[in-house]
Homo-oligomer: A and B are copies of this chain.
Amino acid sequence: MELGLLYSGGKDSTLAALLLEEFYDVTLVTGHFGVSDDWEHARATADRLGFAFERLELDSEVAREAADRIREDGFPRNGIQRVHQHALERLAAAEPGYDAVADGSRRDDRVPTVSRAQAQSLEDRHDVDYIAPLSGFGRTAVDRLVEARLEVTVGPSEEIDRADYEAELRRLIADADGPQAVDEIFPDHTQTYVTDVYR
Interface residues of A (CB under 8 A from B): 1, 18-19, 22-23, 99-100, 107-108, 116, 119-120, 123, 129-138, 140-141, 144-145, 148-149
What is the chain B residue whose CB lies nearest that of A105?
A: B136
What is the chain B residue whose CB lies nearest that of A24?
A: B145
Q: Chain B nearest CB: distance from A121 CB in Å?
A: 11
Copy number in this complex?
2
Listed A/B pairs (20) with beta-carbon separation below 8 Å? A1-B148, A19-B23, A19-B133, A23-B145, A23-B148, A99-B144, A100-B141, A107-B116, A108-B116, A108-B120, A119-B138, A129-B140, A130-B141, A131-B136, A131-B137, A131-B141, A133-B136, A133-B137, A135-B135, A135-B136
Q: Chain B nearest CB: distance from A144 CB in Å?
A: 7
Residue from the set A99, A134, A140 with the largest chain B CB neighbour count within 10 Å:
A140
Q: Is the CB of A141 within 8 A of B129?
A: yes
Q: Chain B nearest CB: distance from A64 CB in Å?
A: 31
Q: Chain B nearest CB: distance from A119 CB in Å?
A: 6
Identify A134's interface contact among B120, B130, B136, B140, CB under 8 A: B136
Complex CA–CA separation, A137 to B1 (angstroms): 15
Q: Chain B nearest CB: distance from A80 CB in Å?
A: 19
Report B-chain residues with C-beta under 8 Å of the C-beta of A136: 131-136
- With A22-B22, A116-B108 known as contacts, the answer to whether A123 contacts B138 (CB < 8 A) is yes
Report B-chain residues with C-beta under 8 Å of the C-beta of A132: 136
What is the chain B residue whose CB lies nearest that of A149?
A: B23
Report B-chain residues with C-beta under 8 Å of the C-beta of A107: 116, 119, 135
Q: Chain B nearest CB: distance from A116 CB in Å?
A: 6
Residue from the set A108, A130, A132, A137 with the largest chain B CB neighbour count within 10 Å:
A137
Report B-chain residues with C-beta under 8 Å of the C-beta of A129: 137-138, 140-141, 144
What is the chain B residue whose CB lies nearest that of A22?
A: B22
Report B-chain residues with C-beta under 8 Å of the C-beta of A100: 141
Complex CA–CA separation, A107 to B117 (angstroms): 10
